[in-house]
Amino acid sequence: MLTEEGVREALKRVKDRDLNKNLVETGGIREIKMKDGNVSLKVALAKTGTAEQLELQQEVVNVLKGEGAVSVGLRFEELTELEIKQLGGLDDPEYVGPELLAPNSSTTFIAVTSGKGGVGKSTVSVNLATTLARLGKKVGIIDADIYGFSVPDMMGIEDRPKVQGEKIYPVERFGVKVISMGFFVEENAPVIWRGPMLGKMINQFFTDVEWGELDYLVLDLPPGTGDVALDLHTMLPHSKEILVTTPHPTAAFVAARAGTMAIKTHHEILGVIENMAYFESVATGEKEFVFGQGGGDRLAEELKTDVLGQIPLGQPEVNMDDFAPSVYNKEHQIGVIYQEIAERIIKKTAR
């Protein structure tokens, strides 16, 4: 069984790229927690938010899983200036990683997640992105739900990204720049890649895509707390998290796990969106609470955050000339609710 000492010994094989010394030599292993084969680490590096950090975190995961770890959770902080000086200092103080992930990046990352599938997480992601763009913001969306990618279909996108030189240019629709795994596989083909390959693909979405200047980058995460979600949480220098649930107690209960992971990886919970909150009759205006009531409030209370909005069951009005089966226009009753939610998000993320 892997021990704390075994973890330290294994991490002698992993070097801080900027200091060319292993994590034991640098004193970068700040904290080790272990339970039932699950390893949680706090690691200090000379620089964070760089491409080198992304390489290192994947190496740490691979090394420890090779030693028998069931899962590996990572949190990062920076070594102090004194520690770096005592270790010989840095040759190049310039940040050389992808600008989007720089510690001082002006882009706000909004990760949309849920505890389970089928709660409308991708629909929420798409409509938040398009509504933020409608409000004048520069917005991108990454369809990071690797096994259940659906954003291109939801937005009615038929084009594919263009590649020029070593850069991928995202597809733009409704003022939103879009990248999805769905662009890189044959139509309806299942994704059967293993974790490290998926992690590399996600990394490329940040490093090889020409995003330009963005106010917001929305990430449609896979449901739950699997490897892809964990990779994204550790990859981002900072992120705001939105939890999507239905009013049903089970959906809210499992969504709390995803929220807890965000908190443990030092990301901020922006709020809860309760989807499928009720069905409102067009004829009578009467509300039917098909999936019960209170799930969103209970989740928000548990995570000590706010309910950003309650979205009823509904269907966008489909325009065959401008086909986008999941995007609500601003005049639609649900489109109005999304605008209210987007305005709250803008207010809460104002710098």
Is the pLDDT at 187 greater than 90? The verdict is no
pLDDT over 90 at 175, yes or no? yes
- Decide if pLDDT at 351 tops 70: no
Q: Strand pairing of 71-78 and 162-164?
A: unpaired
- For residue 262, what pLDDT is reported? 58
Closest CA to 218 of 344, 86, 127, 314: 127
pLDDT band for position 226 (cuts 50, 70, 90) = low
pLDDT band per the 50, 70, 90 thresholds, residue 230: low
pLDDT value, residue 198: 56
Q: If you compute the radius of gyration of the chain from its CA atoms, what whole number of angstroms results?
A: 21
> Residues in the chain, how many?
351
pLDDT computed for residue 96 by the predictor: 46
Give the β-pairing of 307-311 and 268-275: parallel
Confidence of residue 254 (pLDDT cuts 50, 70, 90): low
What single-letter amino acid sits at 245?
T
Does this model's pTM top 0.75?
Answer: no
Per-residue pLDDT tens over the stretch 6-57: 999 999 999 998 898 999 999 999 999 999 989 999 999 998 877 788 889 8
Q: Where are the domains of the chain?
A: 4-95, 101-349
Q: 14 in helix, strand or coil?
A: coil
Question: Residue 233 — left, alpha, or beta (φ > 0 → left; ψ -120 to 50 → alpha)?
Answer: alpha
The CATH number for 101-349, chosen from 3.50.40.10, 3.40.190.10, 3.40.50.300, 1.10.3720.10, is 3.40.50.300
* Tens digit of each residue's pLDDT (9 = 90 or more) over 270-316: 999 999 999 988 888 899 998 888 888 888 888 888 999 999 998 88
* pLDDT reading at 348 higher than 70: yes
Write down the pLDDT at residue 174: 94
Range among 27-31, 80-84, 260-264 rated most confident: 27-31
Q: What is the mean pLDDT of the chain?
A: 83
**Cα–Cα distance list, 325 to 68, 145, 319 (Å):** 45, 19, 8
Q: Give residue 204's pLDDT.
A: 80
Q: Of 313, 342, 156, nearest to 242 (Cα)?
A: 342
Write the CATH number of the domain with boundaries 4-95. Answer: 3.30.300.130
Q: Provide CB contacts within 8 A for 83, sequence distance 6+.
A: 26, 27, 44
Q: How confident is residue 192, by pLDDT bands cut at 50, 70 and 90?
A: very low
Q: What is the pLDDT of residues 235-246, one digit of tens each?
A: 676 778 898 988
Asked whether the predicted pLDDT for residue 143 surpasses 50, the reply is: yes
Q: What is the pLDDT of residue 95?
A: 47
Cα–Cα distance between 63 and 14 in angstroms, integer? 8
